[in-house]
Structure 1
């Protein structure tokens, strides 16, 4: 049925309908409608079925995109879903939040002259359709192995690993300090990009598969209420995976960054998401983390900054400005998100670097220096050089710092000085086995590679699960038992 493909020469790109800006900025619902079957099949038929699929090559998961596009074009949606899910734990999530313009769609071979295939929209359509029709089943292992794996972190890396390990027959226990699974999928990403029922229905499938979640359970250096020590965790499980992500906000190095009204992006986004899920958040109710009626300035140029400016618009801010020290072409965030933000009324101030947050006790404004871009620095990006004597002051009642994230000092927090770290504070692992400096302890996701995309976390989690299985399967039982006994002895020593 090859005649159903290569329709890009006669059929133009057509994305799902996007709600008008004046409508969507009044609520937190997703801004795109979903394809119906005819439109999904039509857009899938635009695929050129090229011999070297750059869409797959540039997808961190190496999804078999041309295969499931062809099946979709032929109306074989269940088969298309199964091919999509074979390499991706969360295709319905990646289809919504991946920066396709930088990954699969941005590298589509027809992009230049004909506009790319709408890969992300077809991907989320397939899984939504599969879930609605009961095609998605919880993983069922062929047999139980008897060994258990403890996973720290219920974000995308930890959950992807959990499903793969459960499929192999391991008892999988996932520990997370929050009261819901998903990590940033639940608390960091706004609902207008990812509605939370999508994560919740995955949780149901995981639980039906036999994955056990220990929520409101932090990891520390001792056992206590809502806390389990890392040593206890080692003693309980044959292997441990660290998939905590990175949550420590980077700070601004300027005067006034600690004034009331100058807040961290993640605190702001978590508060917004919690309120929408029905939780009581005192700082939101008291106005500290609520943009309603305020002049808001968001500092940063990544996807987190875009989430903040678009959230502020929906909360009813008087004005929303995004200050970024480079230009549009050098912005790290998704170009699609920048366009959406502009449509919704966000003003971007390019080539401006904050020098000070103004105010005595509460924020009143931000003073910025005008800058120009110079030669590339050590990171390969153009350096920022101030233009002497030029600057501007922006009125602000709420300043949101969206400058990225660093890892927390896990060896100190967990009393594990032997846990090796890189010079950036991320956990060091063997690049092939994902094992840390602690025997039987593995790590994956942002805590290893630094703050990155959800799709990379999924890839790392799946790869780490494969290596954990290989290690547990190849090491003699007495060696694993010795390792576990060592963990128990270490726990007793730490407890005195």
Structure 2
């Protein structure tokens, strides 16, 4: 009788990979979780209950076949586990690191609901693909045959790169245009290294480039090249620009120096970590060293900012959020990591202005309470009369979310239809916009969202484009 390798959740306790001590990890920007050893990865994978209705898979935007690759990992069949993982996810090692698993797959694990502690899905996913890279199982992109059609992709973030990968594997000629000097979008410049070390993204960029994807960096569409030129040059276009326009704060003193946008702050930090010359960092404008830092917001970007400020040597770091801990949008795991590292959270606190002359010296704060639910069902924060006070600050970082840029105006394309929120209108299945041959994916359609959703959109758009090409043309045999 075959030995039972699964359903060990009653005997084997949940275990995360070893986490570096807070005092040590705040000294650098390296990832905080160590890698599973082979035996531990197999042991943790064996806790999966192999349930008939895998809610982990259902709640994964990519519908990854999680139970199957957990079983294969438990059996020591890692190469097969990698093949199953890669079949539905272009960048599994990235999702394993930065997906909010506590809100997605792990948060819906059946054994978690029964009180046994979730399977550590994200850590095992990361382990599988990191092992695949080490063993040489991640193969170069080598299309079986080349096609004559070409696709232009605007934006080298996760959605654009996922589409580029699938299209190039099918032999399509792919050119990616991006305003930055490195491909990866927010994976490179928005997400700090302690969550996603940059070599992880860079090796995927190298794989794409060596596989025939043309990466045209430092190209600002609408300035260096027109959208019309891109559309005329290619058989299809994918808009994957993301959303980079930061939401702002009004109120007295909003224009004082030392009040900065989260993305500017994170980009400067990431560029400095990559070894770039960053004047705004070096002159202290976007550097938290020796400063009292206040971050406003409660999402994942706010968590990235507070944890970055700690590593830069801030005197103190506080995070203001207008709701309570239970209602914050960011990952609870990230919040816990931030607290371990010395961040102080000030719940039920909303900014109403700033103090200082020339440079910010404090945030005027109103104490809040939760009232009736809003349109989304979340309780709306209400100001408590007489509860105002000032929070001292030398650097204030606004992490209030992102909005889309006005692409029809920036690109001179009034016919590019957008919603009342400014996001690009696109079919939710094919991702084609009302402009024939033009597709849109990721945050520019959804609004600010997760990397995993952008990957899904990019893959689906690529499938739709390939279906369209198959209906109208024939491939050219490889030489």
2: CA distance, partners of 1:138 / 1:326: 47
Residue 233 of structure 1 deviates from its aligned partner by 0.4
Moved more, 259-268 or 165-174: 165-174
Kindly indicate whether the alpha-carbon contact (under 8 Å) linking 2:45 and 2:124 is maintained by their aligned counterparts in 1: yes
Residue 433 of structure 2 aligns to a residue in which SS? coil
Relative to structure 1, the CA distance from residue 2 to residue 464 in structure 2 (aligned partners, 3 Å threshold; closer, same or farther) is farther
Residue 474 of structure 1 deviates from its aligned partner by 2.1
Is 1:184 paired with 2:181?
Answer: no
Aligned to 2:226: 229
Q: How does 1:94-173 map to 2 (within 5 A)?
A: 94-112=95-113, 113-173=115-175
Residue 413 of structure 1 deviates from its aligned partner by 0.5
Aligned Cα RMSD in Å? 1.0
1: CA distance, partners of 2:175 / 2:56: 35
Deviation per CA, 1:153-191, whole angstroms, max 9, x where unpaired?
000000000011112210011111101010000000000
1: CA distance, partners of 2:16 / 2:108: 17
2: CA distance, partners of 1:61 / 1:2: 32
Residue 457 of structure 2 aligns to a residue in which SS? helix
1: CA distance, partners of 2:377 / 2:269: 35
Deviation per CA, 1:59-105, whole angstroms, max 9, x where unpaired?
00000000000000000000000000000001000000000000000
Residue 399 of structure 1 aligns to a residue in which SS? strand
Deviation per CA, 1:84-131, whole angstroms, max 9, x where unpaired?
000000100000000000000010000131100000000000000000
Unaligned runs of 5+ in 2: 475-479
Aligned to 1:493: none
Q: How does 1:318-329 map to 2 (within 5 A)?
A: 318-329=315-326
Alignment equivalent of 1:391, drawn from 388, 392, 414: 388
Aligned to 2:51: 50
Residue 2 of structure 1 deviates from its aligned partner by 6.3
Deviation per CA, 1:308-352, whole angstroms, max 9, x where unpaired?
000000000000000000000000000000000000000000001
Deviation per CA, 1:438-478, whole angstroms, max 9, x where unpaired?
1111100000000000000000100111111122222479x
Alignment equivalent of 2:206, drawn from 190, 193, 204: 204
Aligned to 2:286: 289
Aligned to 2:477: none
Aligned to 1:491: none
Kindly indicate whether the alpha-carbon contact (under 8 Å) linking 2:429 and 2:460 is maintained by their aligned counterparts in 1: no
1: CA distance, partners of 2:26 / 2:168: 41
Count of aligned positions: 472
Residue 40 of structure 2 aligns to a residue in which SS? helix
Aligned to 1:74: 75
Aligned to 1:485: none
Alignment equivalent of 1:456, drawn from 433, 453, 457: 453
Residue 436 of structure 1 deviates from its aligned partner by 1.1
Deviation per CA, 1:179-206, whole angstroms, max 9, x where unpaired?
1010000000000000000011111111
Is 1:276 paired with 2:273?
Answer: yes
Alignment equivalent of 1:444, drawn from 438, 441, 453: 441
Alignment equivalent of 1:214, drawn from 207, 216, 224: 216
Alignment equivalent of 1:352, drawn from 344, 349, 352: 349
2: CA distance, partners of 1:66 / 1:432: 26
